[in-house]
Structure 1
């Protein structure tokens, strides 16, 4: 059983699909073992996009440090709420929020820094043109990572 598990979350219910699977896996396969879970979120929207009337242009303006701090605090609060599911089973949970232009790059960096044994994440299961258009964070982490990746296909409700 992996001892350090990294669970990237995007703030959506679909993104949380891996949480219950990991919780069940720990309960069934590693009762009583010391497991460390890191819930991870990357804020990738670092600019406001404003549409300028008349000129038909889109202007981007960086968020202020205060706005970014508020976004981070909100993300930490969300991660802590998700983490309560693990804490009730005596599992150590930490929450990490980063700023970056690519969620996949930030996840891969965290995997290395945290010395993760496993990355467990949800995938929307897009294929074909949708995957090409939107990219796949899960695919990038799976292909570029150095540790096993547990992908849970999220079911849309």
Structure 2
């Protein structure tokens, strides 16, 4: 089974990866991990004034800032079977799209653990992924 792991480089990502490693038989052994990082998109009114190769390089560099430390963490945990997707846009939409496109059976993501009031005021990528995805979503706090 393919398992999409949403990563943003935060402490919550580290906790989710630690959980996955601790439960190797459920999440790692015999499964393919797909790390998905979503960089916020440059607004169209600004991006149309930037050369496409410059914009692509920007997204590549921003993605590497998150993905490189995550790969190092996974190597330290003894996990080598992870592929990487870096995307840009709205985080929840892109995570769901990535999971659907790769045929994942599960989405795993860390959550900040905001209460009801926090979600109401700020929204939550995790809440939006749960609402928009037809796949099971495992939240690690």
TM-score in same-fold range (> 0.5): yes
Judging changes above 3 Å, is the alpha-carbon distance between structure 1 residues 152 and 36 closer, same or farther for their aligned structure 2 residues?
same
8 A contact 1:76–1:95 mirrored in 2: no
Aligned match of 1:37: 33
The structure with the largest helix share of the pair is 2
8 A contact 1:34–1:91 mirrored in 2: no
The structure with the largest strand share of the pair is 1
User: Where do 4+ consecutive residues of structure 1 move more than 4 Å?
Assistant: none
How many residues align? The count is 137
Structure showing greater radius of gyration is 1
- The superposition leaves residues 47-96 of structure 1 with CA deviations (integer Å, 9 ceiling, x where unpaired) of 4xxxxxxxxxxxx6337331442332331353133123434635311111
* Structure 1 unaligned spans of 5+: 48-59
Q: Secondary structure at the match of 1:6?
A: strand
RMSD over equivalenced CA pairs, Å? 2.6
Per-residue deviation, 1:129: 3.0
Aligned match of 2:86: 97
8 A contact 2:5–2:108 mirrored in 1: yes
* Structure 2 unaligned spans of 5+: none
**Bigger CA drift: 17-26 or 128-137?**
128-137
**Bigger CA drift: 81-90 or 137-146?**
81-90
Residues in 2 aligned to 1:31 and 1:132: alpha-carbon distance in whole angstroms: 31
**Bigger CA drift: 136-145 or 104-113?**
136-145
